[in-house]
Amino acid sequence: MSQILDAIASPADVKQLSLPQLEQLAAEIREELINVLAKTGGHLGPNLGVVELTIAMHYVFNTPEDHFVFDVSHQAYVHKLLTGRRKEFHTIRTPGGLNGFMLRAESPHDSYGAGHAGTALSAALGMAVARDRAGGKEHVVALAGDAAFTCGIAYEALNNIAHHTRRLIVVLNDNEWSIDKNVGAIASYLNTIVTNPRFDYLHDRAGRFVEMLGGKIALRMARKAEEAAKSILWPSVIFEELGLKYYGPLDGHDIPTLIKTFEFLKTQNRPVLLHVLTQKGKGFEPALHKQKKFHGLGPYDPETGETKPPAQRTYSEVFADTLVKLANINPRVVAITAAMPNGTALDRFQPHHRDRYFDVGIAEEHAVIFAAGMAAKGYKPFCAIYSTFLQRSVDPIIHDVCLQNLPVIFCMDRGGLSGDDGPTHHGLFDISYLRGIPNIVHMDPKDEDELADMLFTAMQYDGPAAIRYPRGTGPGTPVKDVPRAIPIGKGELLQHGENDRVAIFALGALVPMGLEVARNLEGEGISSAVINARFAKPLDVELLEFFARNVDVILTLEDHVLMGGFGSAVLEEVSNLGLSTPVVRIGWPDHFIEHGKPDALREKYGISAAAANEKLRPYLVQPRMLQRVTLPPPRL
Ligand SMILES: Cc1ncc(C[n+]2csc(CCOP(=O)(O)OP(=O)(O)O)c2C)c(N)n1
């Protein structure tokens, strides 16, 4: 069925195809995307939307000499199919298979990796400037979605482009969608350009010229008509004011027009922005009806698009449902998302409290400072941002929130390993990047009910707080109707005996692993205490001191990098106490973790009970000389 696609070993093969063959190639790619992602999951909608665009780009440009920089790069699957990875495409996002994003290590055609939004224009400009300095002739093309233009960085790049290079092509892929509907003034502005009927008319005429006559002369005439249209309608197009010549809007599914336009843009000696209109999910009915769902999803039925709903509420859903309750009782509670209403489940909150729900676009730094402003006026902003995307906001967290001790609550979804998306999306750094900031409290629930309690605790706390919780579902613990406040900085002692030799401090989702380690030890006749640490900051120093003085070894467990993480905090505190109790730490190494299934990756990197028991063994050969203390034993 995929005769043409099967024969594409590199972009050179694309250039040999006739127009009807290119159209056929587009159809075959769509079929491949729908069938493969039905098994692996992935970013179906965005990729279905850029099939023709990517084909035209590869028809005109020559990667890897020319460079494509894709924003987020979740829409690079078609590019992968055309750049020698067709045979492995069925492995995308599976362990050991192709990554779901551009990856420099994966192919010379992936000239720049990404996973977070808004970086394409800056990176492309950097490459263009490096090329100019070397006297190179290659082209640099940045492809960014309309939602990428809600990112501040995109404007920081636009502020610089025309000052630093004369040759850069920016393609604005406008499908009106972020993951949810794109929001804000920029989305409205793009919509105004696109929907102006006069402009449409002239644009159609321009398109017809190209079709009828073909070639550069016709294209020049067509462009003239468009430019005339623009100058009639727009005293200025924002991009032109910033020094990029604006072209478009073009139908992003019209291969011949795209090809001719790219041929033309290649000849330009000034930075240009091409505005193309595409349809997210094109060619798959279910994706056209459910844009949000098909942005990125797990396996589905390739005929109907049906997916298996999770058997129980996810952590994100428990978070959003609890926030509805908190907002019911506290009129100061507001919810903020940075373009992730679906992923954070805040789309469940929005219908209940429309006027206290804010989607600010892909703008995490702004989200945090906006929250700080609201908090300064007495509100309780709950800022729901994935752990990995909150990395963007470290300075606003320090400078705007914590320095002023404002009660902003960071609800860090996907805290811990994220799985199939890989290193750009694992939330493995938040303890490290937050722990050193004065004033902040860092909480990690062991289950869904404790998440609800922590949200309630944070609401009552008069200062900045962060709560991290894992992707997907938890142990399924029923959530109480009314949440309870947890004392700040107090751990929960889950088990404790007279002759404990090990104290296991487990954080968040790894509490069940802590209990498993204890059971294994018990099987060997060794008694141990298990503590649900609850707080990475402040630590429960009282509990820690008691055990540091009374056991042979402390074990810490965290779904986080070891460096600067929870175990590091425990080590520091043991040292502060002037004690020399050995601390064995389990967590992620100083290494970017590839994509894969969480259980398999944990196994591979030794984040398991078996690995913990093994690491404890040398410390249990002989009992340590203990100077038992007279502290009162902590209560269970
Ligand atoms: C910093 C950051 N925040 C949030 C996200 C999550 N995210 C991935 S794709 C996306 C929407 C992208 O929309 P757009 O750029 O218009 O591309 P499209 O998917 O519509 O093609 C978002 C919000 C991200 N990748 N990076």
Q: Is 85 an active-site residue?
A: no
37 close to ligand 1 (CB < 6 Angstrom): no
Distance CA 444, CA 348 (A): 22
Q: Please tell me the residue having the least CA distance from ligand 1 atom 17.
A: 145
Q: How far apart are CA 503 and CA 636, in angstroms?
A: 14
Q: Please identify, by atom number, the ligand 1 atom nearest to the C-alpha of residue 389.
A: 1
Residue 361, ligand 1, Cβ within 6 A: no
The finding on whether 406 has its CB within 6 A of some atom of ligand 1 is no
What pLDDT, in 10s, does the model give residues 96-141? 999 999 999 999 999 999 999 999 999 999 999 999 999 999 999 9
Residue-level pLDDT at 207: 53
Cβ of 101 less than 6 Å from ligand 1: no
Q: Is 389 in the pocket of ligand 1 (CB under 6 A)?
A: yes
Question: What is the model's pLDDT at position 630?
Answer: 54
Helix (H, G, I), strand (E, B) or coil at 307: coil
For 489, half-sphere exposure in the C-beta direction (CA atoms, 13 angstrom radius) is 11
Tokens describing residue 160: 């610089």
Ligand 1 close to Cβ of residue 147 (< 6 A)? yes
Q: What is the pLDDT of residue 624?
A: 81
Please tell me if the CB atom of residue 162 comes closer than 6 angstroms to any atom of ligand 1. no
Q: Which atom of ligand 1 is nearest to the CA of 45?
A: 19
Residue 227's pLDDT is: 56
Determine if ligand 1 sits within 6 Å of the CB of residue 362: yes
| List of the chain residues with pLDDT < 50 | 201-202, 205-206, 209-210, 212-215, 231-233, 235
* CA atoms lying within 13 Å on the CB side of residue 75: 35
Q: Is 317 noted as a catalytic residue in this protein?
A: no
Closest atom of ligand 1 to CA, residue 49 = 21
* 249 prior amide bond cis, ω within 30: yes
Q: Is 565 in the pocket of ligand 1 (CB under 6 A)?
A: no
Backbone dihedral region for residue 419 (phi beyond 0: left; psi -120 to 50: alpha; all else: beta): left
* Structural Rg of the chain based on CA atoms: 27
Neighbours of 600 (CB within 10 A): 12
Q: Report the distance separating Cα 630 and Cα 616, nearest Å.
A: 26
Q: CA-CA distances (angstroms) from residue 369 to 364, 384, 392, 463?
A: 9, 13, 12, 15
- Rounded distance from Cα 435 to ligand 1 centre (Å): 28
Residue 280: CB within 6 Å of ligand 1?
A: yes
Q: Which ligand 1 atom sits nearest the alpha carbon of residue 340?
A: 23
**Atom 12 of ligand 1: nearest residue by CA position:** 178
CA of 315 to the centre of ligand 1 (A): 21
Answering whether pTM is above 0.75, one says yes
Q: How far is the CA of 117 from the centre of ligand 1 (A)?
A: 6
The residue annotated as part of the active site, out of 230, 292, 392, 414, is 392
Spot the catalytic one: 86, 280, 292, 446.
280
- Could you tell me the CA-to-CA distances from 205 to 44, 209, 223, 364 in Å, in that order? 33, 6, 10, 41
Rounded Cα gap, residues 296 and 291, in angstroms: 9
**Cβ atoms of 475 and 311 closer than 8 Å:** no
Residue 285: predicted pLDDT: 95
Atom of ligand 1 nearest to the CA of 339: 23
CA-closest residue to ligand 1 atom 15 = 145
Q: Which pLDDT tens digit goes with each residue over 335-371? A: 999 999 999 999 999 999 999 999 999 999 999 999 9
Does residue 76 have its Cβ closer than 6 Å to ligand 1? no
Q: Which residue lies with its CA nearest to atom 26 of ligand 1?
A: 116
Q: Judge whether 211 counts as a catalytic residue.
A: no
* 339 Cβ inside 6 Å of ligand 1: yes
- Determine the Cα angle at 108 with ends 106 and 114, to 5°: 60
> For ligand 1, what atom is nearest to the CA of residue 174?
16
634: left (phi over 0), alpha (psi -120 to 50) or beta: beta
- Nearest atom in ligand 1 to the alpha carbon of residue 177 is 20
Distance between Cα 293 and ligand 1 center (Å): 13
Phi, psi of 324 (to 5 degrees): -60, -45
Q: Yes or no: say if 74 and 93 are a contact pair by the CB < 8 Å rule.
A: no
Nearest to 459 by CA among 425, 517, 411: 411
Enumerate residues 6+ apart whose C-beta is below 8 A from 398: 437
* Among 628, 595, 464, residue whose Cα is nearest residue 97: 595
Question: Does any ligand 1 atom lie closer than 6 A to the CB of residue 502?
Answer: no
Find the catalytic residue in 28, 32, 226, 364: 364
Nearest protein CA to atom 25 of ligand 1, as residue: 116
